[in-house]
Amino acid sequence: MTAETLVELKDLQVHFPILRGVLVDRVVGHVKAVDGVSLSIPRGSTYGLVGESGCGKTTLGRALLRLVEPTGGTAVFDGVDLTALGSNAMRTMRRRLQMIFQDPLSSLDPRQNIESILTEGLATHGIGADRAARRALVGETLDAVGLPRWALSRYPHEFSGGQRQRIGIARALVLSPDLIVADEPVSALDVSIQAQVLNLLATLQADRGLTYLVIAHDLAVVRHICDTVGVMYLGALVEQAPSAELYTRPLHPYTRALLSAVPVPDPDVEDRRERILLTGDLPSPANPPSGCRFRTRCPWARERCAQERPELRTLAAGHTVACHFAEELE
């Protein structure tokens, strides 16, 4: 793996205005979906973003592709600041940044056949000299994702869930992108099919040197495919570490609670485990708690946590954590 950085986010923010009013909408507050996230992804590696629903992980992925507009910070992709690009330049750039969505059925147009779905992007970006050239390219891509060539004339409903996800991957892949943002790529699939898709993603990365940003709530899936993992809570990163390190030595109380909550298919592990049960639910991102955002649910919260928002601190090589008392909890 090269150390060259492909993606560099600095203090990225996405704040959605809350509008109220009878005739004229007034801004009465902001939902801070993403509130200052900095991270970098080396070329050819996989970065995993985990967190529970509402933590802002999907919004972050979409903001990187500018499918939602960031309201602050920068997103540098291969030396270019995406947030400063005009809409035409951004559209051209998107060939290199592709996305795989969670629900393969609703992200594929039911009335487009597979050939049309796969060649649409090629035509938009002017790739391939003529129809025959595009067809050849699409054919190769189908081989790469393990779909038969006869799929081209079929429609999305004729495929199983796993095959549809392969079509979604092919659609991203056919443009030969540098980065693929995969938002919950396997969570809609049956267990036995998940493994097929995860293996496919690994093969494609090895063959083509792809860089992935994987967004998922399943910690086991993320651990399996990611090199670096970032844990998000209420719009901000609370911990980031190389995958192996994060899972063997989680430092943030939230990460520890998350890991202890994942059921493991082994009765011995389940019987021995000590769960760190969190109380309550995620606070509203429109009105986050003062100081540390996790303090309302943290079993170890103290006075300082309410007053001072913890910054990400580096505690070991590549291992950063946003907690005042991370060392003491170990």
Partner 1 sequence: MALLEVEDLGVTFRGDREVRAVDGVSFTVDAGEVTGLVGESGCGKSVTSLALIGLLPKQNTRRVRVDGRALFDGLDLLRADTRTLRDIRGREIAMIFQDPLSSLNPVVPIGVQVAEVLVRHRGVSKAEAQRRAAQLLDRVGIPDPNRRLKEYPHQLSGGMRQRALIAMAVACRPRLLIADEPTTALDVTIQAQILELLKELVREDGTAMIMITHDLGVVAGLCDRVNVLYAGRVVESAARRPLFAEPVHPYTIGLLNSIPRLDAGQGARLTPIRGSVRDVLPWSQGCAFAPRCDRAVEECLAGPPEITGDPHSFRCVNPGVGVDLEEVR
CB 137, min distance to partner 1, A: 27
Determine the distance from the C-alpha atom of residue 76 to the mean position of all C-alpha atoms in its chain, rounded to a whole number. 17
277 touching partner 1, by CB under 8 A: yes
Q: Which stretch binds partner 1 (CB under 8 A): 9-17, 75-83, 99-107, 252-260?
A: 252-260
199 touching partner 1, by CB under 8 A: yes
Nearer to partner 1, 50 or 312 (CB): 50
18 touching partner 1, by CB under 8 A: no
Phi and psi for 284 in degrees, rounded to 5? -70, 130
**Distances, alpha carbon 236 to alpha carbons 12, 115, 233, 292, in Å:** 10, 40, 6, 11
> Tokens 């601190």 belong to which residue?
313
Paired tokens of 303: 């006075």
CB 264, min distance to partner 1, A: 5
Phi and psi for 308 in degrees, rounded to 5? -125, 125
From the list 80, 105, 127, 259, which residue makes contact with partner 1 (rule: CB under 8 A)?
259
With beta carbons less than 8 A apart as the criterion, state whether 262 and 250 touch. Answer: no
CB 214, min distance to partner 1, A: 12
Paired tokens of 212: 């992935």
From the list 10, 42, 52, 176, which residue makes contact with partner 1 (rule: CB under 8 A)?
52
* Continuous H helices in the chain: 57-64, 87-93, 114-124, 131-145, 161-173, 191-208, 219-225, 243-248, 253-261, 267-272, 303-307, 326-329
105 touching partner 1, by CB under 8 A: no
As beta bridge partners, residue 7 has 41, 77
Residues within window 126-165 making contact with partner 1, judged by CB under 8 A:
160-163
- 3-class DSSP state for residue 293? coil
From the list 43, 96, 224, 249, which residue makes contact with partner 1 (rule: CB under 8 A)?
224
110 touching partner 1, by CB under 8 A: no
Q: Which stretch binds partner 1 (CB under 8 A): 32-40, 67-75, 263-271, 308-316?
A: 263-271
CB 125, min distance to partner 1, A: 32
Rounded CA separation 82/80 (Å): 6
Query: Which of 108, 101, 96, 1 lies closest to 47 in space, CA to CA?
Result: 1
103 touching partner 1, by CB under 8 A: no
From the list 76, 90, 198, 286, which residue makes contact with partner 1 (rule: CB under 8 A)?
198
Paired tokens of 27: 């801004």
Q: Which stretch binds partner 1 (CB under 8 A): 37-45, 116-124, 175-183, 217-225?
A: 217-225
Q: Which stretch binds partner 1 (CB under 8 A): 75-83, 84-92, 168-176, 254-262?
A: 254-262
Q: Which stretch binds partner 1 (CB under 8 A): 72-80, 112-120, 133-141, 194-202?
A: 194-202
CB 195, min distance to partner 1, A: 3
Nearer to partner 1, 139 or 161 (CB): 161
Query: Which of 140, 142, 113 lies closest to 128 in space, CA to CA?
Result: 140
Angle at 121 between CA 118 and CA 122, to 5 degrees: 90
CB 256, min distance to partner 1, A: 11
As beta bridge partners, residue 13 has 35, 72
Paired tokens of 230: 């970032």
206 touching partner 1, by CB under 8 A: no
Residues within window 279-308 making contact with partner 1, judged by CB under 8 A:
280-282
Beta strands 313-316 and 319-321: pairing type? Answer: antiparallel
List residues binding partner 1 (CB under 8 A). Answer: 52-53, 160-163, 190-196, 198-199, 202, 217, 219-221, 223-224, 243-244, 247, 257-267, 269-271, 273, 275, 277-278, 280-282
